[in-house]
Amino acid sequence: MSEPLNVAWPAEPPSARVLPAARPASPPEPVAPGADGDYGLLLVDDHEDNLFALEQALTPLGRRMFRAGSGEQALRCVLREKIAVVVMDLLLPGMDGLETVTYLRRLEHTRLLPVVLVTGVGRDDAVAERAYRLGVGGFLLKPIDPWSLRTHVRALAELYVHARHSGTAGPSGAGALPGGQGRG
């Protein structure tokens, strides 16, 4: 089971926080309708309060949001819906976050899909290394700064959708997106 998300302002030590001057004065503009706006975000956590906190943090992005409470539910969702980014807890019942990412990378339809893993169990370099070897787009520790999460997810979503529509991240995985493995 995962730890509660505990999204709070500011939650990080001063050395890890974004300086207030770097924060925008207003929330980002919602995604305009059309091909880009058709792609949603998948939030995966087995705790309802964490899903709610993630939704609240990511609502200003203007994308549809889907919820899953397990890795199995997440896999079903990404096969049915147009997803731009998956934000997933590391510790899930049944198939955990790393196992779910491993499975996503095996499927042609989802192997380029950006995944941001979230954990409340503390820093574990071996787990983070494994996650990055699988091609995750981010590995965030709880408590999470909502502005940082939004910025991270927005960038990954825009890159993924742009690559999908420009043809640079087709089934061959030729897209040059973050992660160094041609993921999108």
The pLDDT value given to residue 5: 53
pLDDT, mean of residues 47-75 = 97
One DSSP character per residue, 60-128 reads GG---EEEESSHHHHHHHHHHS-EEEEEEES--SSS-HHHHHHHHHHSTTTTT--EEEEESS---HHHH
Say how far apart CA 134 and CA 98 lie, in whole Å: 8
Task: Give yes or no for residue 71 having a pLDDT over 50.
Answer: yes
- The model's pLDDT over 159-173, given as tens digits with 9 standing for 90+, comes to 999 988 887 554 433
What is the pLDDT, as a whole number, of residue 10?
Answer: 40
User: Does residue 147 sit in helix, strand or coil?
Assistant: helix
Question: Above 70 in pLDDT, residue 44?
Answer: yes
d(CA 172, CA 116): 22
- Cα–Cα distance between 176 and 160 in angstroms, integer? 10
**pTM (global) more than 0.85:** no
What mean pLDDT, rounded, does the chain reach? 79
In the prediction, which pLDDT does 36 show?
Answer: 59
The percent of residues in the chain predicted with pLDDT above 70, rounded, is: 70
Is the model's pLDDT at 93 over the cut of 90? Answer: yes
pLDDT digits (tens, 9 = 90+) for 106-120: 999 898 999 999 998
d(CA 147, CA 172): 33
pLDDT in tens, 126-143: 999 999 999 999 999 989
